[in-house]
Structure 1
Amino acid sequence: MNKSSDPVSTNAAVATDVEQYLVRDPETFALNMARTLENLGKAAAAWAAPRENGDVHDSVAEPVADMVKTFSKLTEYWLADPSRALEAQTRLFAGLITVWQTAAHRVSGVEGVEDVVKPERGDKRFLDEEWGKNAFFDFLKQAYLVMARWSNDLVEHADGLDEHTRHKASFYVKQIAYALSPSNFVLTNPELFRETVAANGSNLVRGMKMLAEDIAAGKGDLKLRQADNSKFEIGKNIALTPGKVIARSDLVEVIQYEPTTDKVLKRPLLICPPWINKFYILDLNPEKSFIRWAVEQGHTVFVISWVNPDERHGRKNWESYIREGLQFALDTIEQETGETEVNAIGYCVGGTLLAAGLALMAQEGDNRIQSVTFFTTQVDFTYAGDLKVFVDEEQVQALEKAMTDRGYLEGTKMAMAFNMLRSGDLIWPYVINNYMRGKDPMPFDLLYWNSDSTRMAAANHSFYLRNCYLENNMSAGRMTIAGRNIQLSDIKIPVYNLATKEDHIAPARSVFLGCRYFGGDVDYVMSGSGHIAGVVNPPSLKKYQYWTDGKPEGTFESWVANATETPGSWWPHWHKWIESKDSQLVPARRTASKLKSLAEAPGTYVRVRV
């Protein structure tokens, strides 16, 4: 007799399957449930206390109201035509009935039954074998996937929606779908269920304790821990490249790095990182440090380290950031080295500021920057990706109102927005690991940096949102700084414009489109991977690839189709490009040879945490 059709064997297997979900020590389990509720109460208190004291004023109503309004527009389309609504409902019911029939066949022992729908490739939520082996969990999985895809189809096939509303609806549907996934709950996730039973609920006790700690650390908001931060200390095992702070303003510290070669390129290199994150993403550790690698290639490297703003910086706008940041750094380089010709790099919003500064300086006759490299930088925001979901007139007004009293936006707000862009990777896996499993996250330098959030100065952030995301003024020539309408076409120096293929913040297509607005020669390069890994990709790792094809002309799709793919890091390609502009060498420059050293690298501003 076939073993699978043997009733005794089948009953034994079912019994074994069931046993793994049975509580073996009810007394201990009950005690741990009580402790879990106690810790959950502490989490609630940590959330409520700052609000009762007036330290936190929620702006939750605005995003929730925007989501409701967006879904209302979507609902209007489907309910406007009863036959259309009925057709949509029929598709959902048909899918769920098929899932039910599939589950019934499997319970009856029918072999070779195919799933109605399968998770997308790369979806790690349903890897446990019980999602397919156990009829209950298999039904939950397939019903969830059917409903999630049906919801997405409602957005995709809703004619008459403007593109911004469609974009928002698609984003919100995705967020809700991730939040409601059965993988996120103990009773509907077989792996979590087994672990909870095996541990008699002690995992939930630890998890709720961590939740209370993280809300307290966020001063009333959840500061989701993505890495074991106790394993890292800036200047001890992260941001280690030797150098000195040689100048300081209200907004920046300027760091000069020690040379490691006898000769260096005559033109110093100034790096303008984003103020939304801290600069040491380019100096995580010696193996992955772009700064260290650039020094080893013979660059005299200077880096702007932005202040973590507080109420004193509330009125600092883009002109302030250009004058007291970018031009202050150029003045510092000139004083320290005597050089009036500099190569510059701008990363993300640091690159957007650098582009604005270059256009302003071109009108003012300041031509010290002779070549510019942009890392994942947008100057046109037509295709700016999912961050545009958070930017429309009502949302910007609400944000400006929230920033008015304090003079800044809390770093946790911006960090959560960025995490939501990849919530399936940056939110829910950590919610499950930390608060359901009760496990500490692993030590990971990149995620330590990701959690080291910075505040946004009110005037600066408002200018950025309005002029870039909301009104797209920069590429249109409508951006006004220091009383001047700046024009990107005034930037006639050579441009190396790096995009990354899987970027969710500065999409490669958006960066490509921005190339057409510069007034000089532009080399567009696309690296493999995303916004961080595609940039921080040292040659020694031999990872990913990059594409080159000369001038960024025609459509983005045609450029990609005809581009030349090269394995490995783009860093050496960039260095050759720099040398092609000016390869003159001079004796290596020691740090703080003319200016006084104010601190050892990485300085003091970078150490301020929120």
Structure 2
Amino acid sequence: MLTDKKKPKSEPQTLYQTLDHMAHANVAKATSGLSPSVLAEAWMDWATHLAASPGKQLQLATQAFQNLSALGATSLGVDRLEAETDHRFSGEGWQNYPFNVWSQAHQQSWQWWQDATTGVHGVTPEHQNLIAFVTGLTVDAGAPSNFAPTNPDVIAATFAQSGQNLIRGSQHLSEDIARKNGYAQDDSPQAFEVGVNLATAPGKVVFRNALIELIQYSPETGTVHPEPILIVPAWIMKYYILDLSSHNSLVRFLVGKGFTVFMISWKNPDAEDRDLSMEDYRKLGVMDAMDAALAITDAPKLNAVGYCLGGTLLSIAAAAMGRDGDDRLASTSFLAAQVDFTEAGQLRLFVNDSEVTLIEDMMADKGYLSSDQMAGAFAMLRARDLIWGPAIKNYLMGDRAEAFDLMVWNADGTRMPARMHSEYLRKLILNNDLAEGRYRVGDKAIAVSDIRAPIFAVGTEDDHVAPWRSVYKLHLFADTDVTFVLTSGGHNAGILSEPGHKGRHFRIADTKATAPYSDPDEWLTANAPEDGTWWKDFASWLAARSSAPVEIPHMGAKSGRYKALCDAPGTYVMQR
């Protein structure tokens, strides 16, 4: 579905082009969407330059000899090799021979290959980073912890349980394969369910169109700030990470602080939605939701909050509003969101024109990118924890991981329409159009500097999706006051920082629009960490940019376009 009355005309494909697209789609299926040419180009660049670098070769040979000598001494008990701490080998059994030698040999091998693939004179940084990443994945696949005969924890469990762990693990593997291929469904009672103990903040769906449901949450205080909060979650995930469980719901927290909160819940697109565009997501998503929230509350302005790619989409909408003189934003907040994608984490390693073309041909068949394909890409970024760790626990130890709310949400993926995902990959990641002033809304380009509302931005220390230094780049483009927070945790856990969460810390600082620029390292040095979480500061920041609380307005319109349609969490979030 397109917002324009007529779909854009495209040239009909020739038979030759159709054959090419079909061939590319088959390649994509065989390689799980990874373009062979991406790796081939990087490998050729690295291998050619390494072959012409005798000094680097001598350095690697010397390092290999030293590693073997150290391992030999450890094997004979003459000396103990000191290795960096690795949680995979922290158990007591790994300290005994021969497991200590195997674990240390693996860590030495991993580091040797990292040294071999980096620092080769003449290799482009992009190719170097890609080869180092893929080599690390390959070496980790052979880690001794991944195999029953070389994992002392598995061996001990096998003896203690007379092999029952391996029998259970085989059953788990069989069940997972059957579910993966659609031959079976999990009918066992679920510990977490949407609307039961996930996404349970009370509210109503007050607006629905072809792309979103808009949820208005019930007030919990006697008075509320007149300006509502509109939250724009990423379209690659279900919204309820921000209303997860009752104790860690950002929605409940903000409602409890006297705010009227609205949340966008995206439709899970299907083949019929293949032509939905980024512009559709802006208009039918952000702008329609904004119109509804302001109409229902009769407020002149609202506070907009965007998470992950929802923040990127919000920045596009806010920049277009600034360009066009639309001043309905009291503030804008970006949680783990990027506007510049030149340093967009490890996913950026695989994105070039060849890769994007292959993904486009793969999506052309079904009209969307499946949630499994996206989940696999994210899991690959942290393979030790998200692939090998669960595999060892499920299939070698025979233990099913106990479900928890964030894990359940993480498995509840969404699809992405072919056209929109292609535009996102090409315009934002590949060409970086938004940061470089080429992204167009309507017939004119937009600039992030046109955002006039004050900005609250959050980066997380261990983010592998939106690295905090990339998020921090917002300072380069914003022409307004920016309050920046750097919090402990990763892309998701760092945002779920409810008060009372143990072990959390954060840094926070205000940068005026007229202040000189400080680079990320300077900012880090200048701002000491504080114990606790950033949610309280966020609520105070929003309150300072809102009017004094007033009596609670009614929940939605009783009739007309914005009448209550059903209870939260709505129907779109239930789509599979």
> TM-score, normalising length from structure 2?
0.89
Of residues 412, 416, 420 in structure 2, which corresponds to 1:452?
Answer: 412
- Please state if 1:517 is matched with 2:477: yes
Size of the alignment, in residue pairs? 542
Find the counterpart in structure 2 of residue 38 from structure 1. none
CA distance in 2, matches of 1:532, 1:550: 23
Deviations 1:475-509 (A, max 9, x none): 11011232221111111111111111222111111
Find the counterpart in structure 2 of residue 348 from structure 1. 308
Find the counterpart in structure 2 of residue 211 from structure 1. 173
CA distance in 1, matches of 2:183, 2:543: 48
CA distance in 2, matches of 1:85, 1:221: 51
Gaps of 5+ in 1: 1-53
Please state whether the residue corresponding to 1:230 is helix, strand or coil: coil
CA distance in 2, matches of 1:406, 1:607: 21
Deviations 1:111-149 (A, max 9, x none): xx321x41x33x211122232222x22221121111111
- Report the structure, 1 or 2, having the larger helix content: 1
Alpha-carbon contact 2:233-2:239 (below 8 Å) kept: yes
Please state whether the residue corresponding to 1:373 is helix, strand or coil: strand
Which amino acid in structure 2 is aligned with residue 583 of structure 1?
Answer: S
- Please state if 1:70 is matched with 2:37: no
Alpha-carbon contact 1:360-1:484 (below 8 Å) kept: no
CA distance in 2, matches of 1:359, 1:495: 12
Find the counterpart in structure 1 of residue 93 from structure 2. 130
Alpha-carbon contact 2:306-2:334 (below 8 Å) kept: yes
Please state whether the residue corresponding to 1:172 is helix, strand or coil: helix
CA distance in 1, matches of 2:33, 2:431: 24
- Please state if 1:538 is matched with 2:510: no
CA distance in 2, matches of 1:425, 1:359: 38
Of residues 153, 163, 171 in structure 1, which corresponds to 2:133?
Answer: 171
- Bigger Cα displacement from structure 2, 73-82 vs 550-559: 73-82
Find the counterpart in structure 2 of residue 501 from structure 1. 461
Find the counterpart in structure 2 of residue 606 from structure 1. 573
Please state whether the residue corresponding to 2:87 is helix, strand or coil: coil
Mapping 1:214-233, distance limit 5 Å: 214-219=176-181, 230-233=190-193
Please state whether the residue corresponding to 1:475 is helix, strand or coil: coil
- Note closer, same or farther for the CA distance 1:370–1:181 as it changes in structure 2 (3 Å cut): same
Find the counterpart in structure 1 of residue 65 from structure 2. 93
Which amino acid in structure 2 is aligned with residue 155 of structure 1?
Answer: T
Deviations 1:385-425 (A, max 9, x none): 11102211111111111011211001011111112222222
Deviation, 1:510, is 0.9
CA distance in 1, matches of 2:386, 2:428: 26
- Note closer, same or farther for the CA distance 1:541–1:176 as it changes in structure 2 (3 Å cut): same
CA distance in 2, matches of 1:520, 1:475: 16
Of residues 531, 536, 560 in structure 1, which corresponds to 2:524?
Answer: 560
CA distance in 2, matches of 1:142, 1:523: 44
Find the counterpart in structure 2 of residue 289 from structure 1. 249
CA distance in 1, matches of 2:115, 2:52: 17
Find the counterpart in structure 1 of residue 21 from structure 2. none
- Please state if 1:150 is matched with 2:150: no
Of residues 560, 563, 567 in structure 2, which corresponds to 1:596?
Answer: 563
Of residues 213, 217, 232 in structure 2, which corresponds to 1:272?
Answer: 232
- Please state if 1:182 is matched with 2:149: no
Deviations 1:510-555 (A, max 9, x none): 1111222122221222122221222111113354122123218221
CA distance in 2, matches of 1:583, 1:150: 59
Alpha-carbon contact 2:344-2:466 (below 8 Å) kept: yes
CA distance in 2, matches of 1:503, 1:146: 26
Fraction of identical pairs, as percent: 37
Find the counterpart in structure 1 of residue 259 from structure 2. 299
Gaps of 5+ in 2: 1-25
- Bigger Cα displacement from structure 2, 258-267 vs 533-542: 533-542
Mapping 1:185-584, distance limit 5 Å: 185-219=147-181, 230-541=190-501, 543-551=503-511, 553-584=517-548
Alpha-carbon contact 1:248-1:254 (below 8 Å) kept: yes
Which of structure 1's runs of 4+ aligned residues deviate more than 6 A?
A: 220-223
Alpha-carbon contact 1:475-1:514 (below 8 Å) kept: no
User: How large is the RMSD of aligned CA atoms in angstroms?
Assistant: 2.3
Alpha-carbon contact 1:549-1:564 (below 8 Å) kept: no
- Bigger Cα displacement from structure 2, 137-146 vs 82-91: 82-91
Deviation, 1:200, is 4.0
Please state whether the residue corresponding to 2:480 is helix, strand or coil: coil
- Note closer, same or farther for the CA distance 1:87–1:167 as it changes in structure 2 (3 Å cut): closer
Please state whether the residue corresponding to 2:399 is helix, strand or coil: coil
- Note closer, same or farther for the CA distance 1:539–1:128 as it changes in structure 2 (3 Å cut): closer
Alpha-carbon contact 2:130-2:349 (below 8 Å) kept: yes
Alpha-carbon contact 2:73-2:80 (below 8 Å) kept: no
CA distance in 2, matches of 1:498, 1:127: 33
CA distance in 1, matches of 2:90, 2:120: 33
CA distance in 2, matches of 1:319, 1:216: 39
